[in-house]
Structure 1
Amino acid sequence: MNRRSRIASLMITLFGFACAAALVQAKDIPVDYTFCHAGTASVVTASKEFALTGVEFRGITRSNIEDKMLDNHTYHCVSVNRGGEQTANHGYCKFISPDGDGYFIEYSRVGTGEGTWKALAGGGRWKGLTGDVIWRVTTQGTPVSPGTYQACGVGKGKYRLPD
């Protein structure tokens, strides 16, 4: 093997190790928590066939696993909900961990079953956060006052942080 071939082979090998190390160094974070929130709804239009509502809510998470990394995260969300014959909602949330660092997610749901949320960005310890969560509402109470709602649910999935 000539010198150029050895150098090329060495570079390819080192590149492969660097890629493998980057993959191994990413930290998987299991997501399994309960969330509860309260919010307000502003009706844009409402009929039997079609309804459109702007929603803003705030809440907190409780981890369901021993690793309490996602415990006591507070959040603030805004969304647009479609009602009537075909229900759906789509929104964005800012989460803040107890240390003050935060991250953002986008969520959506069609119908009344499970929805998804996707990690979009983060700062501080959450910089580079990616991942997906399946969520569902487990209980929703009678509104404590007109134009409000209170609900709890669960979210399960996986986040990933670069090391």
Structure 2
Amino acid sequence: MKRGGALLAAALLLAACGQGDGDGDNAAGARLEATAIATGVVADPAAAPLDGIWSRDSDRMCIIGKDGAAKGAGRPRRIGIVLDYGEGQGCSASGLLTRDGATLGVTLGRCRFTARFDGEAIQFPASLPAECQAFCTGRASLSALMVERVSASAAEARTLRGPGGTPLCAD
């Protein structure tokens, strides 16, 4: 009977561990992430550089400091995006990007939204304003775009061109 009681107590403890109120789970996750950043296991999104070339499959993005401006939070950068899926399906846009830690403010003409940066990848939201569709043809969309760093070279970023050969991240 003792052994059965101990097993029951262990089972109840395990069941209780899985029942969080949500806020405690978020706080624990935030503490874990902060520890991982502090120990260098995970890149600190607030400190990781943005300038360079970003890519995934046929999706490309360039980011460079605007007019040679020094790196820093809140300073505008140039951003260029080109997606080419062939047969009239694609997007091409350029504009400005601002940064507040892991939050990136993207302005492509009248298309404005907030993207996320985790230190290694940039993710656009799944739902974008209707104005963003003006940069795309066919069924292509900038929605949910996700790219990872390929190069940290600003010189390389300046070479990204749109479909007509126009530089997307030129000073």
* TM-score, normalised by the number of residues in structure 1: 0.38
Structure number having the greater strand percentage: 1
* TM-score, normalised by the number of residues in structure 2: 0.37
Structure number having the greater helix percentage: 2
